[in-house]
Amino acid sequence: MDKKKAFSVLMLALLVLPVLSFAVPVRASTGHPVLAAVDLVDDKIVFANSNVSIIAGNTSVTKVDNGNQYEGRNFAIIFAVNDSNLVTFSGAQFDLYISKDGYSSISSDDKLYASGFSVSDLSLAPKEVNKTNALLKGGLGTFTIGTFELTNDVTGNNDTVKALVGPIPFDITADYKYIKIFDGSSTLVAVSAQIVEILPSFSLTPSKGAPCTTVTLTGVALPSGVVYNLTYDETEYGAVNLTALIAQVTSDENGKVTYSWQIPDLKNNNQSPPYYINISINIIENSSGNPVGSVTFTEYQSYFTSITVDGNEQDTDFANNSLSVNVYTFSEVQLNGSYFCVSCGEVTITVDGTTLATAPLNSAGNFTATFEIPESLSGGDHIVKVYDCSKTLTFNITVLPTLVVDPKAGPVNTTVTVKAYGFDPSKIYYIYWEGTCMGETDRMIWIANATVGEDGKFNVTVTFNVPHAVGGSHEVEAWTDVDWAAVAEDYGYNYTCLYDDALWDYGTEYAETPFYVTPTLYFTPDEFAADEGGIFYLKGTGLNPDVLYVLNIDNQAFVTPSNQLGNPVHTITCDECGDLTVELVKAGFRPGLHSGALYGDNGQSDGYCGNYTIAAYATFTVTTEGDLVVGDLMNYMNSSFSSLNAKLVAIEGDIATVQTTLGTMQTSINNLDAKVVALQGNMATVQTILGQINGTVIAINGNVATIKTDVGTIKADVSAVKADTTTMKGFLPVDMTPVWIAVVLALIAAIASIYSIVVIRSKIAA
């Protein structure tokens, strides 16, 4: 190359060099954050020179520079000390990686374990942030980021540091040592000057729960190929003895062990709940016998969380050996239990060898069982057993004397059957109904005297009719040991009707059960003619005097006389005995079925929007006889048939066949309104609603002539007086209009198409 060419190349190189050097500047986080151990309670810090030892997944350090005097302090990454920045950022956020190497770039096997930290937070007051990542213990880690004022343990100086305090990954191997700070560029990252020594770590998942829970032990950062013994720290738990050795496990090539098994049921269930026992599991190196770690499972012992009898939760001690509740025959019992042996899948509940119920266990060992106290269970004390395939828990029930009514609700005069269960056969019982009117709720109405057999049941069938009483709940009571002589002397009452103070003073209430009186309505009379007139009544019993009722007649509000302000009132009330009487006039009702209904306010406020139900209702019927509806209808039909081109085509007996443009129909001959309008010799002209027909008179009986025509024989009135309208009893409206009649005609037309005839005779001329 000559000198001229060499000079040209040199000049070109000088021109290109600035372009290569400055066209695309590369920036990222750089520098060396320092690892440290901090005490955020006493505000102290020690900076590591070479390493920090920490159990995998933990925040607390074990050693700093191989010395354990700082054990228990929290692991910290320091980004600045006083005015010196140890890391320079170009991004606004940064992530944490852990690496096997100390190069200032992200290597392929580096592991991200926390991300999305804000650079600006390092300059603010400390705050906690939660991060999720599968490498963290339990998948979650809590970090504290900000500026801290801390005392240096070595120099004694007060240092202002920008730091991030938090855990290291759990699912990691011991050859990961360096912390890398990444803020956007994988080729330029800040790397810790010191290393992290990751110590073996163990976790148990879950760490608490019910007996028989399946748990998984995980160990990480272990040397590979080492055998470990998993053992229980204690083997005696009351009556339960455990085998010390759970299993032997060997760490894999990554220094990791995993083992799952079922935690035993310690069956210690007689303590006040919720009671738990901590079960410690040790991890011991098999060859040396040295412990390398331990985990703890908190086992909650089984207990009954609640018990409800007939909807009433029992206020009792649910420590199992002291639980006792009162029940009745046919009582519905709901039992809830917690922390039973989950692997059993279900619990079985028995009493005296009879299974009452089975209930499934959920994953937490909880169950809900509902069962009924059977009729076969005698009165007195019994033990209920709850078995979960691992153990049996018990509680006590006392079956009290039980009085049962059937039905449990109904209107006044309902026939009710009373039954007894678990009664003492040595006593005589007096059955009473309590409460009549509102002011006499303690009045007692005698129902029957009764004795019981050895089975604790009445010897005879006891029935009664519900007395005339106010609506709502009333007690049916069985009394015994009554001193009737004392009652007569002090109160002078007849035993069939007295007040409860006499019974309370000189007797014993043995059992009781509620009966609910429901409202009922009825009309009297419940049927009358449309033109009858007079008064009829709507009456009710079993109503509640505290309820304002709205009365609807035919679904229209019934307005009562004005109140004191002169405004119409739309509500009514019954009297103190639950009775109601409303007078109504037998007029203004169309023939047919009509209704009366009561709606109760049920304590609803003004403007209530919701469900409105009928408290009681009744119906009545309006009939009609001798009404002119049919006559009017026939006249309308007469005028309408012409537009249908109706023709009489046949007469057979009392049936006339009529052909129309809509089809052919059959009808009674009486409906043709036949009248003789002209006679010439033996020839007669007959007028019908379909027109005129001619024929020969073959007989006359009174005012009725029998006439033979081309379409058949017809009988017609010869008195020229319109036939009486057919007497009718039914539901046609009194004020029938042409619209109603048109509907009827439409129905007739529809029927006509059904009753068509095949052979149509020739049209009969008028």
| CA 20 to chain CA mean position, Å | 73
Q: How confident is the model at residue 336 (pLDDT cuts 50, 70, 90)?
A: very high
Res 585 pLDDT > 70:
yes
CB atoms within 10 A of CB 434: 22
Percent of the chain at pLDDT > 70 equals 80
pLDDT digits (tens, 9 = 90+) for 384-423: 999 999 999 999 999 999 999 999 999 999 999 999 999 9
Report d(CA 618, CA 541) in Å as an integer: 12
Three-state SS for 159-200 is: EEEEEEECCCCCCCCCCCCEEEEECCCCCCCEECCCEEEEEC
Query: Which amino acid would we find at residue 430?
Result: Y
Q: How confident is the model at residue 690 (pLDDT cuts 50, 70, 90)?
A: low
Residue 726: predicted pLDDT: 34
- What are the Cα distances from residue 617, in Å, to 539, 593, 610? 10, 13, 20
**Alpha helix stretches (DSSP H) within 460-603:** 484-490, 500-506
Res 499 pLDDT > 80:
yes
Calculate ∠ Cα 361-367-373, nearest 5°. Answer: 125
CB atoms within 10 A of CB 757: 15
Report d(CA 371, CA 358) in Å as an integer: 9
Residue 320: predicted pLDDT: 64
Res 711 pLDDT > 90:
no
Q: Which residue has the tokens 């009545």?
A: 620
Residue 681: predicted pLDDT: 67
Q: How confident is the model at residue 745 (pLDDT cuts 50, 70, 90)?
A: very low
Q: How confident is the model at residue 723 (pLDDT cuts 50, 70, 90)?
A: very low
Res 334 pLDDT > 90:
yes
Mean pLDDT along residues 276-296: 95
Lowest mean pLDDT among 15-24, 78-87, 598-607: 15-24
- What are the Cα distances from residue 508, in Å, to 423, 430, 481, 502, 737? 13, 10, 6, 11, 71
pLDDT digits (tens, 9 = 90+) for 637-683: 555 555 566 676 777 766 777 777 767 777 776 766 777 666 676 67
pLDDT digits (tens, 9 = 90+) for 155-211: 999 999 999 999 999 999 999 999 999 998 877 899 999 999 999 999 999 999 999
CB 357 within 8 A of CB 342: no
Question: Under the phi-then-psi rule, with left for phi > 0, alpha for psi from -120 to 50, and beta for the rest, what region is 371?
Answer: beta
Residue 559: predicted pLDDT: 74
Query: Pick from 515, 519, 541, 517: which is nearest to 613 by CA?
Result: 519
Mean pLDDT of the chain: 84
Higher-confidence residue of 212 and 317: namely 212
| Domain annotation for the chain: domains and CATH numbers | 30-199 (no CATH), 202-264+280-300 (2.60.40.230), 311-400 (2.60.40.10), 402-517 (2.60.40.1930), 520-623 (2.60.40.1930), 629-754 (no CATH)
pLDDT digits (tens, 9 = 90+) for 439-473: 888 889 999 999 999 999 999 999 999 999 999 99
Residue 224: predicted pLDDT: 93
Report d(CA 74, CA 39) in Å as an integer: 6
Residue 693: predicted pLDDT: 75
CB 385 within 8 A of CB 349: yes
Residue 651: predicted pLDDT: 73
Three-state SS for 399-464 is: EECEEEEECCEECCCCEEEEEEECCCCCCEEEEEEECCCHHHCCEEEEEEEEEECCCCCECCCEEE
CB 572 within 8 A of CB 542: no
pLDDT digits (tens, 9 = 90+) for 103-146: 999 999 999 999 999 999 999 999 999 999 999 998 999 999 99
Q: Which residues pair with 303 in a beta bridge?
A: 338
Res 230 pLDDT > 60:
yes
Residue 755: predicted pLDDT: 36
CB 149 within 8 A of CB 142: no
Element (H, E) at 629: helix 629-641
Res 293 pLDDT > 60:
yes
Q: Which residue has the tokens 């709850």?
A: 386
Report d(CA 439, CA 683) in Å as an integer: 86
What dihedral do alpha carbons 361, 364, 368, 369 form, nearest 10°? 30
Q: How confident is the model at residue 497 (pLDDT cuts 50, 70, 90)?
A: confident
Mean pLDDT along residues 79-102: 95
Q: How confident is the model at residue 20 (pLDDT cuts 50, 70, 90)?
A: very low
Q: Which residue has the tokens 């057979």?
A: 652
pLDDT digits (tens, 9 = 90+) for 549-567: 989 999 998 876 655 555 5
pLDDT digits (tens, 9 = 90+) for 724-740: 333 333 333 434 444 44
Res 349 pLDDT > 70:
yes
Coil, helix or strand at residue 730: coil
Report d(CA 258, CA 58) in Å as an integer: 19
Percent of the chain at pLDDT > 90 equals 62
Q: Is the pTM of this model over 0.75?
A: no
By CB neighbour count within 10 A (0-12 exposed, 13-18 middle, 19+ buried), where does 615 fall? buried
